Amino acid sequence: MKDENVTKAILVVQEGITPFARQALNEMAPRYKIEHFKETELLVDITEHTLVPVHRVLGRDEKAALLKRYRIRDSQLPRMQVTDPIARYYGMTRGQVVKIIRPSETAGRYVTYRAVI
């Protein structure tokens, strides 16, 4: 990874990783962002499921505009865990905001925002 100047990687394993491997990944965390998934977690594309609404990760400028528009802090937004399957799918980190667009029978569509913690 160092020779290729790579800072992000995805590790896919057949079974869960051992505590020793998890510790090694945590030690590499300051320099590299390594996401790990079990093979079974990747068999189905969760974003294509009918019950999962559309999620869109906001950029820094969009997040700042959202907070300014509603005059709130990011701590006042509804929360989403960094371990949430959608957050893991998009590789989201703490502090990012996701826009969720759900179909609504009364309004046509319902938009909400969540901050990743």
pLDDT in tens, the chain (117 residues): 777 888 888 999 998 889 999 899 888 888 888 899 999 999 999 999 999 999 999 999 999 999 999 999 989 999 999 999 999 999 999 999 999 999 999 989 999 999 999
pLDDT digits (tens, 9 = 90+) for 84-97: 999 999 999 999 99
Q: Is the pTM of this model over 0.85?
A: no
Every domain range in the chain assigned CATH 3.90.940.20: 49-117
Closest CA to 88 of 11, 4, 1, 32: 11
- How far, in Å, CA of 23 to CA of 46, rounded? 28
Query: Taking a C-beta distance cutoff of 8 angstroms, is the pair 116, 80 a contact?
Result: yes
Q: Domain spanning 49-117 has what CATH number?
A: 3.90.940.20
